[in-house]
Amino acid sequence: MAENLESKLGLENDFKSAGERRIAELLNKYGIDFKYEPPIAVQDRQNKLRIWYPDFFLPEYGIYLEFNGFEGNPNYDNGTMLKNSAYRKNGINIIGIIPSIKDGQLENYILNSIYGIQKTRYSRIKSRIYELRTGMSSKYH
């Protein structure tokens, strides 16, 4: 796999938190390329187009990671919930990460989440191919 320059330099970035740094270190450990805080267009609850900057984008997987660092603050938690809802509404795959996920669990959480998203995508594609094939075969026979 070719190394992404940003991933390689990522650990030299000024991360906004120790949690973001831990995530970057983990991604580098597994050779997962990432972009740090890339802009993304999102339609919010009022259908206004906004530019947001999720913490990480994994181009190889089409997945974003967002470190929600102020867990337990009611206003922040509500904002996180609304933001995640907007991501889902826009069809954006996002993995939300909270500080209470300890170092030993963080690795499994991120890797299993990536795997789960990829598995769901594969299942959808497989179902769609089946629908197309069976639909076409009944039309033409």
Residues 2-36: pLDDT tens digits? 455 454 544 556 788 889 999 999 999 999 999 99
Q: How many CB atoms lie within 10 A of CB 66?
A: 21
Instruction: State how many domains the chain has.
Output: 1
Domain membership of residue 88 as a residue range? 5-140
Q: Is the pLDDT at 139 greater than 70, yes or no?
A: no
CA dist 4 and 89 (Å) reads: 30
pTM of structure = 0.79
CA dist 68 and 62 (Å) reads: 20
Q: What pLDDT is attached to residue 41? A: 95
| CATH number of 26's domain | 3.40.960.10
- Mapping DSSP to helix (H, G, I), strand (E, B) and coil, where does residue 106 land? helix
Element (H, E) at 37: none
Alpha-carbon torsion, ordered 120, 54, 46, 49, to 10 deg: -100
Cβ-contact 22, 106 below 8 angstroms: yes
Q: Tokens 């938190």 label which residue?
A: 17
Residue 102 Cα to chain centre, angstroms: 19
